[in-house]
Amino acid sequence: MRLSSRRLVMREPEAGDIDWVTTELQDLEIQRNTTVPSPYARADAERFVHNANTGQRTTFIITETGQRAGAISLHLHDKRAPSIGYWIGKTARGRGIATEAVTRVCRWGFEELGLPIITWSAKVGNEASRAVAANAGFQMEGTLRLRSMSQGALRDCWVGSLLPHELRDIP
């Protein structure tokens, strides 16, 4: 599976990504703001790559001009609306990569998978993720108390959703 946008290619994770994922996820900001294990070990990256596209999840490594920038997943839950999650490596932040990747993956979900809605959540205080979601067209719906596990503790999280007609185009 491969998706592309104006400047990004999103591809399936592969064994050659394990060391890169391990290194990127030492970033305490990613550990604080996502549900990745903390501390993050190479064995976690091996599991991430091995399980990337099994079950109800499709995961992509985001690349820009051949350089890895982050990862994005679309989760198709059995009893809940599909959800999107993503992280961007420290050196790739601030360039609109996450917004472009989220927009492309959501477009694929709506147009190719026929999804009626995609949800988003982020730990309260993760302003960068919230800005990405809002820029893609997600409507903020509120705060769920103690709903997300991060760094071994339950945390409050913001939630939002996106309908097909709300998805924004990236110039």
What is the predicted pLDDT for the residue at 124?
95
What is the predicted pLDDT for the residue at 7?
95
Residue carrying structure tokens 């959800």 = 83
What is the predicted pLDDT for the residue at 141?
97
Three-state SS at 10: strand
What is the predicted pLDDT for the residue at 89?
97
Three-state SS at 73: strand
Chain segment 112-122, per-residue pLDDT in tens: 999 999 999 99
Model pTM? Answer: 0.94
Length of the chain counted residue by residue: 171
What is the predicted pLDDT for the residue at 40?
96
52 secondary structure, DSSP code: T
What is the predicted pLDDT for the residue at 149?
85
What is the predicted pLDDT for the residue at 171?
58
Axis crossing angle, helix 97-111 with helix 127-136, rounded to the nearest 10: 50
Segments of the chain scoring below 70 in pLDDT? 171
Chain segment 74-117, per-residue pLDDT in tens: 999 877 899 999 999 999 999 999 999 999 999 999 999 999 99
| DSSP codes of every residue in 111-136 | HTT--S-EEEEEETT-HHHHHHHHHH
